[in-house]
Amino acid sequence: MAWNCIIPSCSKGKYNNKAESNTREVSKKSSFQRLSFSDLSDPNSPMLADDLSNSLISSNLHVFSLAELRDITNNFSWSNLLGEGGFGPVYKGFFGEKFKHGLEPQSVAVKLLDLDGLQGYREWLAEIIFLGQLRHQNLVKLIGYCCEEEHRLLVYDYMPRKSLEDQLFRRYSTTMPWSTRMKIAHGAAKGLAFLHETDQPVIFRDFKTSNILLDADYTAKLSDFGLAKDGPEGEDTHVSTTHIVGTKGYAAPEYIMTGHLTTKSDVYGYGVVLLELLTGKRSIDRNRPNREQNLVDWARPFLKDPRKLYKIMDPKLEGQFSAKGAQRTCALAYKCLSRRPNFRPSMTDVVATLEPLLGLDDWFYVPFVYIAPPDQDEKVIESKSEEKEGNDDGGCGGGIRSGWRDRIISTTMSFGNYLDVSLYKNRLVASNNCVDY
């Protein structure tokens, strides 16, 4: 059966009125039985169309015509373009007053399937089946879809801060503060935990910064269920897949080797994103020196040793973060990135680990005084810093060197420029009392 045959209401300009009138949320406690993706892809299932139709009714998805979506996106104009991924371009749109029954005026994001692209009906349908039935504050809300002739579109809540990738890595973006990073890590973990813990678990399979959208107050919302899979059923320990799909730099090593997919594959991807939040570095970057190109390979040894965390923490944070929070988050990332899936924590454990770290405020500001040095002096400072860095003594001798006290700018500790590296290191070591690796 072709994917485009499955949705019964796919026809030019016809709306599913029933879908507009009935709302029911899916949650763990609900008696509602979620339709699995595999059910719907089984060509022998006689209930196929009805099952899907019912699930769409219960999820209250709206069916849009292409003309309506053209209208709200200014004819898919370049000026409305929000970004573009493997599925196709994404445009900003706006529902005006009385645009459609049951819809409030609001901004939306309209994703248009690129008919010449690599993705297609499968991804479009998976998005509708999963996001149409699963609702959670940390999943992006799918408002509806369009299925007209060969065109396939998806309509979502508009996320004003776009994706975590946009916020963390784009050159024009300002530095994201530590507390915001932790909030995003926690929200994204709750989204994944929800998927893994529902009655019929879902494996997300493409967890990465570009698939974490951010609303105005930086609440994380997982998006892109095109590659999602129903989790193993009954006694099965994993789902076997024949095609390895996902994104390089985030896919779990055992999944790449065997094609075996479990919720622990998502935990690995989560560990990579956590590392990106800690370091401010992309998971793969060909512009970095050879041994640093793969973030996990480079950072893993440092995660284990609290005395070395200063080597990986994002210098743009300028030391403004909770030392205990950073250590525990690094320890958590280390576990999530374990080569052995069983050693990785569940996402529920991840949420529980992060929760107490959110409110930590053991910021460590080092005021110091600075007089712009002549060139010669600057060289001395640099070489002293290097000397200190090399002297990895576990750090009890930290302190502002006497020469630095004479200087006149009062500022917070800056890792990038004039940081006394030993201070930074000591701070991380000092609060390392009960970190469990």
Considering CB distances under 5 to 8 angstroms, the limit depending on partner class, which of ligand ATP, Mg ion, none binds residue 86? Answer: ligand ATP
Which of residues 112 and 366 has its CB atom nearest to ligand ATP in the complex?
112
Interacting partner of 158 out of Mg ion, ligand ATP, none (Cβ under 5 to 8 A depending on kind): ligand ATP
Residue with tokens 């970190």: 435
153 forms part of the interface with ligand ATP (CB under 6 A) = no
Q: Which of 39, 51, 71, 84 binds ligand ATP (CB under 6 A)?
A: 84
Q: Which is nearer to ligand ATP, 108 or 332 (CB)?
A: 108
- Within a 10 A sphere around the Cβ of 304, how many other Cβ atoms? 13
Single residue of 85, 120, 232, 253 touching Mg ion by CB under 5 A: 85
Q: SS3 of 161, please?
A: coil
109 binds, among Mg ion, ligand ATP, none (CB under 5 to 8 A by kind): ligand ATP
6 scored as a contact of ligand ATP (CB under 6 A): no
Q: Candidates 163, 262, 279, 329: give the one binding ligand ATP (CB under 6 A).
A: 163
39 is catalytic: no
Give, as ranges, the residues between 165 and 184 that touch ligand ATP (CB under 6 A).
165-166
Q: How far is CA 276 from CA 76, 294, 328, 346, 435, in A?
A: 33, 11, 15, 20, 21
| Closer residue to ligand ATP, CB minimum distance, 89 or 231 | 89
Considering beta carbons, is residue 207 or 255 the nearer one to Mg ion?
207
Among 40, 59, 95, 111, binds ligand ATP (CB under 6 A): 111
The answer for residues whose C-beta is within 8 angstroms of residue 79's C-beta and 6 or more apart is: none
Q: Which is nearer to ligand ATP, 114 or 349 (CB)?
A: 114
Enter the tokens of residue 56: 């769409």
- What is the rounded CA–CA span in Å between residue 171 and residue 151? 34
> Contacts by 432-436 with C-beta closer than 8 Å and gap 24+?
432/306, 432/327, 435/306, 435/327, 435/328, 435/331, 436/331
**Nearest to residue 179, comparing CAs of 366, 5, 360?**
360
- Distance in Å, CB of 223 to Mg ion, minimum: 6
User: Quick one: tokens of 187?
Assistant: 């929200």
Stretch that binds ligand ATP, among 159-167, 347-355, 415-423, 425-433 (CB under 6 A): 159-167
Kindly indicate which of the ranges 190-198, 208-216, 254-262, 305-313 contains the residues binding ligand ATP, using the contact rule CB under 6 A: 208-216
**Shortest distance (Å) from residue 84 CB to ligand ATP:** 6
Q: How far apart are CA 394 and CA 429, in angstroms?
A: 7
Give min distance, CB of 266 to Mg ion, in A.
15
Q: Is 224 in the site for Mg ion (CB under 5 A)?
A: yes
Q: Which residue is nearest to Mg ion (CB)?
A: 224
CA distance 205 to 224: 10
Contacts of 374 (CB under 8 A, 6+ apart): none
Please give the DSSP secondary-structure letter assigned to residue 434: S
Please pick, from the candidates 64, 91, 158, 178, the single residue that binds ligand ATP as defined by CB under 6 A. 158
The number of residues in the chain equals 437
Q: Which of 166, 206, 224, 314 is catalytic?
A: 206
The pairing of beta strand 89-95 with beta strand 106-112: antiparallel
Count of CB atoms situated within 10 Å of the CB of 181: 24
Binding flag, residue 117, ligand ATP (CB under 6 A): no
Work out which of 85, 232, 249, 259 binds ligand ATP, going by CB under 6 A.
Answer: 85
**263 is an interface residue for ligand ATP by CB under 6 A:** no
Which of 404, 375, 402, 401 has the alpha carbon at shortest distance from 388? 401
CB of 109 to ligand ATP, least distance (A): 3
Cα separations in angstroms, 425 against 287, 331, 430: 27, 16, 9
Amino acid 210 reads S
DSSP annotation string for 309-351: GGGTS-GGGTT-S-HHHHHHHHHHHHHHT-SSGGGSPPHHHHH
Query: Is 82 an interacting residue with respect to ligand ATP (CB under 6 A)?
Result: yes
Q: Using CB distances below 5 to 8 A depending on partner kind, what does residue 328 bind out of Mg ion, ligand ATP, none? A: none
- Considering only residues 156, 207, 302, 368, which one is a binding residue for ligand ATP as defined by CB under 6 A? 156
Of the listed pieces 31-39, 210-218, 250-258, 368-376, which binds Mg ion according to CB under 5 A?
Answer: 210-218
Tokens linked to 364 = 């460590």
Chain positions contacting ligand ATP, by CB under 6 A? 82-87, 90, 109, 111, 140, 156, 158-159, 162-163, 165-166, 210-211, 213, 223-224
Active site residues: 206
Chain positions contacting Mg ion, by CB under 5 A? 85, 210-211, 224
